[in-house]
Structure 1
Amino acid sequence: MDAKIREFFDSVGSFFTGGDNVPWCDRDVIAGFERDVAESGSAEAKNEGLMRLSWALVHSRYPEDVNRGIAMLEASLDSSASPLQTREKLYLLAVGFYRTADYSRSRQLLEQCLQIAPDWRQAQTLKKVVEDRIAKDGVIGIGIAATAVGLLVGGIAALATRKK
């Protein structure tokens, strides 16, 4: 019985916190990747370093890092050499938009990823997380609206009974 109660509270907690499994990246890792990019000699090494840096930025806990990663990825998307590289950049952009709570844009990018690689589990998993988040936000929005209407009706009813 105790385990069932704990499971219930864990599920309620993850509902409100958005319990996803998208990893986070610390600023010291970002700084290391920035050094790697600055010290890279060849164009190929620099491009690989920029991809690692973009990954780290969109997985950061800080919105300014995430926005910087999004900008870097958007700027480099047109210069992708292969469908695999395009898929990776689209996925990282989707992570970035997920982190900034732009869930519809994230879902759109994930659908583009899945057009390139329909069986890519990582994109499928994130798309499910994004869609669950969109649904949760809708439920919470409906709850807030219903509460506001209830308070308004209750206030009107209280005023009406008070005047009689």
Structure 2
Amino acid sequence: MDKKIGSFFDSVGSFFSGADVIPWCDRDIIAALEGEAAEGGSGVSEDAKKESIMRLSWGLVHSKRPEDVQRGIAMLESSLNSSSSPTEKREKLYLLAVGHYRSGDYSRSRQLVERCLEIAPDWRQGLTLKKVIEDKIAQDGLIGIGIAATAVGLLVGGIAAAVSRKK
């Protein structure tokens, strides 16, 4: 019960803080996905192996741990050229975009989601991610403008103070 209440307050807090809508994946789920991918190495079909690796990649790029995200990005990049269908390529591009978003590389994330949308222009998941990325870029831009304006204000104020002391 306490866990559900905590989860509720976390979700309300993320709503008011403007947090993104991309889900997170915890360490327990990633460990289970790693076990599944390791078991996929023996006696299962090639499709089952690919599917378990895709699930692991999904978990890694949705992790809160930066090293997991980087590992997921590396796995996806190494398998991107071997995609057999446009849908598979779209999924990998999307997950790469999520990974780069999570690691703070918003311009690369936007490039990847745009490539994803070239394959499926009306794909809602891709369109939602693109909006989240663009909102984050705009938010960071406003913060940067605010910092620059403050720095200019301090510089002008310092110059004005120095000039008024000399008089």
TM-score of the aligned structures, taking structure 2 as reference length: 0.87
CA distance in 2, matches of 1:22, 1:106: 13
Amino acid at match of 2:20: D
Amino acid at match of 1:92: L
Query: Where in structure 1 are there 5+ consecutive unaligned residues?
Result: 1-9
CA distance in 1, matches of 2:91, 2:158: 53
Q: Give 1:63 shift.
A: 0.5
Matched, 1:158 2:161: yes
Matched, 1:142 2:145: yes
**Deviation per CA, 1:26-58, whole angstroms, max 9, x where unpaired?**
011111011001112322221111000000000
- Corresponding residue SS for 1:118: coil
What root-mean-square deviation, in Å, do the aligned CA atoms of Structure 1 and Structure 2 show?
1.4
Amino acid at match of 2:32: G
Matched, 1:86 2:97: no
Q: Give 1:155 shift.
A: 0.8
Q: Give 1:118 shift.
A: 0.9
Residue of structure 2 in register with 1:25 after alignment = 25
CA distance in 2, matches of 1:140, 1:58: 26
Q: Give 1:134 shift.
A: 0.8
CA distance in 1, matches of 2:96, 2:154: 41
CA distance in 1, matches of 2:66, 2:140: 20
Among 100, 117, 122, the residue aligned to 2:125: 122
Q: Give 1:140 shift.
A: 0.8
List structure 1 runs of 4+ shifted beyond 4 angstroms: none
CA distance in 2, matches of 1:107, 1:28: 29
Residue of structure 2 in register with 1:58 after alignment = 61
CA distance in 1, matches of 2:78, 2:53: 12
Q: How many residues align?
A: 151
Query: Where in structure 2 are there 5+ consecutive unaligned residues?
Result: 1-12
Residue pairs, 1:2-81, within 5 angstroms: 14=17, 18-40=18-40, 41-42=43-44, 43-81=46-84
**Deviation per CA, 1:5-35, whole angstroms, max 9, x where unpaired?**
xxxxx89x63xxx511100000111110110
